Amino acid sequence: MAQRIGAISGPTAAGTVVALILAALVAVLSRADWPVVFGPADWAVLRFTVWQATLSALFSVAFAIPVARALARRRFAGRGLLVTLLGAPFILPVIVAVLGLLAVFGRAGWVSQGLGWLGLPPLSIYGLTGVVLAHVFFNMPLATRLILQGWQTIPAEQFRLVGQLGLPPAVVFRTLEWPVLRQVVPGALALVFVICLTSFAVALTLGGGPRATTLELAIYQAFRFDFDLGRAAILSLVQLAVAGGAAVIALWVLPPIVLQTGRDRQVQRWDARGLWPLDTMWIGLAAGFLLLPLGAVVVSGLIGLGQMPASVWSSTWTSAWVATLSAALLIALALSIAAWLAQARWGGAEALTLLGLAASPLMIGTGWFILIYPWAAPVRFALPVTALVNAMIALPFAVRILLPAMRQVFVDYGRLSASLGLHGLALWRIVLLPRIRPQLGFAAGLGAALSVGDLGVVTLFADPEVATLPLQMYRLMGSYQTNAASGAALILLGLALGMFWLCDAWGRRHVAG
Amino acid sequence: MKYLMTTAAMLSASVAWAETSVLKVYTYDSFVSDWGPGPAVEAAFEETCSCDLQLIGAGDGAALLARIKLEGARSEADVVLGLDTNLTAAAKETELFAPHSVAAEFTLPVEWSDDTFAPFDWGYFAFVHNADMDAPANFRELADSDLKIAIQDPRSSTPGLGLLMWVKAAYGDDAPAMWSDLSDNVLTVTKGWSESYGLFLEGEADMVLSYTTSPAYHLIAEEDAGKAAAAFDEGHYMQVEVAGKLANSDQPELADAFLAFMVSDAFQSIIPTTNWMYPAVTPAEGLPEGFDTLITPAKALLLSPEDAAAARDGALAEWRNALAQ
- pLDDT digit string (tens) for B59-68? 778 888 888 8
CATH classification code of B20-122+239-292? 3.40.190.10
Between chains, do A369 and B70 touch, taking CB under 8 Å as contact? yes
* Of residues B58, B193, B217, nearest to A478 (C-beta): B193
Please report the residues numbered 218 through 237 in chain A whose beta carbons come closer than 8 angstroms to any beta carbon of chain B. 220-221, 223-225, 227
Between chains, do B62 and A225 touch, taking CB under 8 Å as contact? yes
pLDDT confidence bin for A372, thresholds 50/70/90: confident
Distance (Å, whole) CA A45 – CA A207: 13
> Residue B136 — φ and ψ, nearest 5°?
-65, 155
Q: What is the mean pLDDT of chain B?
A: 90
The C-alpha of B5 sits at a distance from chain A's nearest C-alpha, in angstroms, of: 31
> Residue A463 — φ and ψ, nearest 5°?
-95, 135
B20-122+239-292 matches B123-237+294-323 in fold? yes
Among residues B86, B124, B122, the alpha carbon closest in space to that of B107 is found at: B122
Between chains, do A210 and B90 touch, taking CB under 8 Å as contact? no
- Contact residues, chain B, for A373 at CB < 8 Å: 70-71, 74
Between chains, do B198 and A99 touch, taking CB under 8 Å as contact? yes
Between chains, do A217 and B201 touch, taking CB under 8 Å as contact? no
For residue B183, give the chain A residue with the closest CA. A209
Confirm if A195 and A269 have CB atoms less than 8 A apart. Answer: no
Terminal-to-terminal C-alpha distance of chain A: 36
The C-alpha of B62 sits at a distance from chain A's nearest C-alpha, in angstroms, of: 6
Residue B12 pLDDT exceeds 50: no
pLDDT at B135: 94
CATH pick for B123-237+294-323 out of 3.40.250.10, 3.40.50.620, 3.40.50.920, 3.40.190.10: 3.40.190.10
Whether A99 contacts chain B with CB within 8 A: yes
For residue A225, give the chain B residue with the closest CA. B155
Fold of the domain spanning A9-31+40-512: MetI-like fold (1.10.3720)
pLDDT confidence bin for B13, thresholds 50/70/90: very low
pLDDT at B246: 95
Residue B37 pLDDT exceeds 80: yes
Confirm if A315 and A468 have CB atoms less than 8 A apart. Answer: yes
Whether A43 contacts chain B with CB within 8 A: no
Between chains, do B155 and A224 touch, taking CB under 8 Å as contact? yes
Provide mean pLDDT across the span A346-354.
Answer: 73
Whether A144 contacts chain B with CB within 8 A: no
Provide ipTM, 2 decimals: 0.82
For residue A221, give the chain B residue with the closest CA. B155
Find the helix packing angle between A482-512 and A311-342, rounded to 10°. 40
- Per residue in B254-287, pLDDT tens? 999 999 999 999 999 999 999 999 999 999 999 9
Residue B14 pLDDT exceeds 50: no
Between chains, do A482 and B204 touch, taking CB under 8 Å as contact? no
pLDDT at A460: 66
- Per residue in A396-418, pLDDT tens? 888 888 887 888 787 787 778 77
Distance (Å, whole) CA A219 – CA A203: 14
- Per residue in B169-221, pLDDT tens? 999 999 999 999 999 999 999 988 988 998 999 889 999 999 999 999 999 98
User: Which residues does B149 contact at the CB level (< 8 Å), separation at least 6?
Assistant: B127, B142, B182, B185, B186, B187, B205, B206, B207, B208, B209
Q: Where are the domains of chain A?
A: 9-31+40-512
Provide mean pLDDT across the span A356-371.
Answer: 84
Distance (Å, whole) CA A199 – CA B242: 33
Provide mean pLDDT across the span A180-186.
Answer: 84
- As a whole number of angstroms, the longest Cα–Cα distance in chain B is 84
> Residue A75 — φ and ψ, nearest 5°?
-120, 125
Between chains, do A223 and B66 touch, taking CB under 8 Å as contact? yes
pLDDT confidence bin for A348, thresholds 50/70/90: low
- Contact residues, chain B, for A107 at CB < 8 Å: 148, 187, 203-204
Interface test mutation site (partner A, options B42, B194, B318, max chain A beta carbons within 10 A)? B194
| pTM of this structure | 0.85
Between chains, do A480 and B221 touch, taking CB under 8 Å as contact? yes
Q: Where are the domains of chain B?
A: 20-122+239-292, 123-237+294-323
Between chains, do A309 and B192 touch, taking CB under 8 Å as contact? no
Give the HSE-up count for residue A460: Cα atoms under 13 Å, Cβ half-sphere: 27
Lowest mean pLDDT among A72-86, A395-409, B8-22: B8-22
Confirm if B290 and B219 have CB atoms less than 8 A apart. Answer: yes
* Of residues A103, A460, A476, nearest to B202 (C-beta): A103
